[in-house]
């Protein structure tokens, strides 16, 4: 019988409690060492390195420099391969995601009259080129394609390109191509892992250099982003999946167990915890897990069992829901599901979570696949300082200022005094009688 981790929060020392919040990518030392040669190879050899690495790491033996970029024929084939029901589901989800993200789009510019005749504001422009990373190592993820593509298209980024690993057949997952085309992205490269980050950062003979890369990935991808942060903007930290199911005594533990497995099945490097103050929920959850596993594919069972019996998952029994909420804030999860018939009672106590899904009818599945809010979320406590992927991640903001002749004297006087105090003579000269002489002509 599988022995799922069960921890009593009150019995844990500070060090043990802290250990529960550790993520699989917290220690990247080994990955950083192994990733650097991949980055060096791509920078020095370009397409040749990408082809070699695709053949070695992705087993795509038919990959060539000429096939690194998805062709129009491949897009057409994908639409034939994907059945109507799946295409309809993709369109439905994209409609929701687009509707949500359109509300995030700011006005191109705003100005406020700060003082009579003096105006200041912001101007918003899309980033020129953004790479979107869509993982494939543990499955195919058209949902990630939708979540990364739609806000970029809404933001008006002129050069969007998806990077995703090829399968052994040298092709990209058909549903991913369909989702990309429907979302409005037509450039897709068959490149994954650390080499994808390097290709986006430096560019190659086939691949256009990007200014930013967004999207979740393995520790290899996270390591490459960290190493190349000075070359390409790595965006929000998005590593292996993680979730907390916060359940009170108004729900059945079997339901909590059902939702606990959602993120746990992503991979053995995922993190997934059920946190509750109810011993009954704990017992019912443990009893229900075997039934749930019996209805999952073997690969996903292996992944989720590894998580729930390892260091990054299981069940935590708190003394109260207040203690449970405090642990959630300490953990700062990527996904938080408040499983309760009265979820809004706890929402005010939650301050550190990238996504909060409320109630018994809002499982992480619905959030991941098309409720509307973005499911590309910060991991590894990134929720402390980052929010979900949004239109703002694809936009750059510039300040705008305009001072009229009427407002200038007072503004110049203030600048003169402060510049004098700070010892910047050119600052002072620029608002002195020297300027007045040129303005008077």
Write out the catalytic residue numbers: 334-335
Q: Which residues pair with 214 in a beta bridge?
A: 132
- Name the nearest CA neighbour of 244 among 270, 265, 274, 269: 274
Alpha carbons within 13 angstroms on the beta-carbon side of residue 396 total 10
Q: Which residues pair with 118 in a beta bridge?
A: 115, 403
- Name the nearest CA neighbour of 58 among 220, 205, 191, 223: 191
Token pair of 358 as six digits: 């409320």
Q: Does residue 177 contact residue 189 with C-beta atoms inside 8 Å?
A: no
Q: Does residue 244 contact residue 265 with C-beta atoms inside 8 Å?
A: no
Helix (H), strand (E) counts: the chain: 18, 13
Residues with Cβ < 8 Å from 353, sequence gap 6 or more?
Answer: 244, 328, 329, 332, 333, 335, 336, 383
Q: Does residue 306 contact residue 277 with C-beta atoms inside 8 Å?
A: no
Residues with Cβ < 8 Å from 209, sequence gap 6 or more?
Answer: 129, 200, 201, 202, 203
- Name the nearest CA neighbour of 235 among 209, 210, 215, 220: 215
Q: If residue 353 lies in a helix (H) or strand (E), which one and from where to where? A: none
Write the DSSP assignment of 83-149 as a string of letters.
Answer: -HHHHHHHHHHHHHHHHHHHTTPPPSEEEEEEETTEEEEEEEEE-SEEEEE---TTS--HHHHHHHH
CA dihedral of residues 285, 301, 245, 140 (deg, nearest 10): -160
CA–CA dist 33, 401 (Å, integer):
46
If one counts every other C-beta atom within 10 angstroms of the C-beta of residue 156, the result is: 16
Which residue is listed with tokens 């002749």? Answer: 405
How far from each other are the two terminal CA atoms of the chain, in whole angstroms? 90
If one counts every other C-beta atom within 10 angstroms of the C-beta of residue 319, the result is: 11
**In terms of residues, how long is the chain?**
441
Q: Does residue 98 contact residue 371 with C-beta atoms inside 8 Å?
A: no
């Amino acid at each position: 019988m599988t022995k799922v981790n069960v921890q009593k929060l009150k019995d844990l020392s500070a060090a043990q409690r802290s250990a529960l919040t550790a993520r699989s990518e917290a220690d990247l030392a080994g990955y950083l060492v192994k990733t650097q040669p991949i980055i060096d190879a791509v920078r020095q050899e370009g397409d040749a390195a990408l082809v070699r690495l695709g053949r070695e790491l992705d087993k795509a033996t038919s990959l060539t420099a000429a096939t690194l970029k998805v062709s129009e024929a491949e897009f057409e084939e994908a639409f034939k391969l994907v059945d109507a029901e799946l295409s309809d589901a993709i369109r439905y989800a994209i409609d929701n995601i687009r509707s949500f993200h359109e509300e995030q789009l700011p006005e191109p510019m705003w100005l406020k009259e700060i003082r009579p005749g003096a105006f200041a504001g912001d101007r918003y422009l899309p980033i020129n080129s953004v790479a979107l990373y869509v993982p494939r190592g543990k499955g195919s993820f058209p949902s990630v394609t939708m979540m990364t593509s739609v806000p970029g298209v809404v933001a008006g980024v002129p050069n969007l390109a998806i990077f995703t690993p090829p399968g052994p057949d040298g092709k990209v997952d058909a549903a991913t191509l369909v989702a990309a085309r429907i979302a409005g992205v037509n450039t897709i490269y068959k490149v994954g892992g650390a080499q994808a980050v390097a290709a986006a950062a430096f560019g190659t003979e086939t691949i256009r250099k990007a200014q930013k890369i967004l999207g979740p990935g393995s520790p290899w991808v996270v390591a490459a982003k960290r190493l190349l942060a000075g070359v390409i903007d790595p965006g929000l930290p998005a590593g292996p999946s993680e979730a907390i199911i916060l359940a009170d005594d108004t729900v059945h533990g079997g339901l909590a167990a059902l939702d606990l497995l959602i993120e746990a099945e992503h991979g053995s490097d995922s993190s997934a915890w059920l946190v509750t103050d109810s011993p009954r929920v704990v017992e019912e959850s443990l009893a229900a897990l075997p039934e749930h596993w019996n209805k999952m594919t073997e690969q996903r069972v292996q992944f989720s069992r590894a998580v729930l019996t390892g260091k990054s998952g299981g069940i935590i029994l708190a003394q109260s829901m207040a203690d449970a909420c405090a642990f959630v804030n300490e953990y700062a999860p990527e996904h938080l599901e408040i499983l309760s018939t009265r979820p809004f009672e706890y929402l005010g106590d939650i301050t550190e979570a990238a996504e909060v899904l409320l109630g018994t009818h809002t499982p992480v599945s619905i959030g991941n696949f098309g409720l509307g809010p973005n499911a590309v979320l910060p991991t590894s406590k990134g929720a402390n300082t980052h929010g979900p992927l949004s239109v703002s991640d694809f936009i750059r903001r510039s300040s705008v200022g305009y001072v009229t002749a009427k407002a200038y004297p007072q503004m110049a006087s203030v600048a003169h005094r402060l510049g004098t105090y700070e010892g910047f003579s050119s600052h002072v000269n620029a608002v002195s009688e020297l300027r007045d002489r040129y303005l008077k002509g």
